[in-house]
Amino acid sequence: MKRATLFGRDAAVTKRFTEMGTTAKTTTPAETAAVIQRELPMYETAINASGLQKQ
């Protein structure tokens, strides 16, 4: 089962995610910030490996 974190509580958005087979979960701003901080190194590694230049 897929899961997506939604940054809001819009019923239409939740319904659409459900139709796509994804379980919607809302979060607090602090939880969202923690996810970003946790995932940042992963994206930085991928970007560095790609050879893209920082602007």
Q: Is residue 23 part of a domain?
A: yes
CA distance 18 to 3: 10
Q: Is residue 42 part of a domain?
A: yes
Whether this model's pTM surpasses 0.85:
no
Query: What residues in the chain have per-residue pLDDT under 70?
Result: 1-9
CA distance 46 to 18: 30
Judged by DSSP in three states, 8 sits in coil
- What total number of domains does the chain contain? 1
Residue span of the structural domain in which 6 resides: 2-50
Query: What residue ranges in the chain does DSSP mark as E strands?
Result: 2-6, 22-26
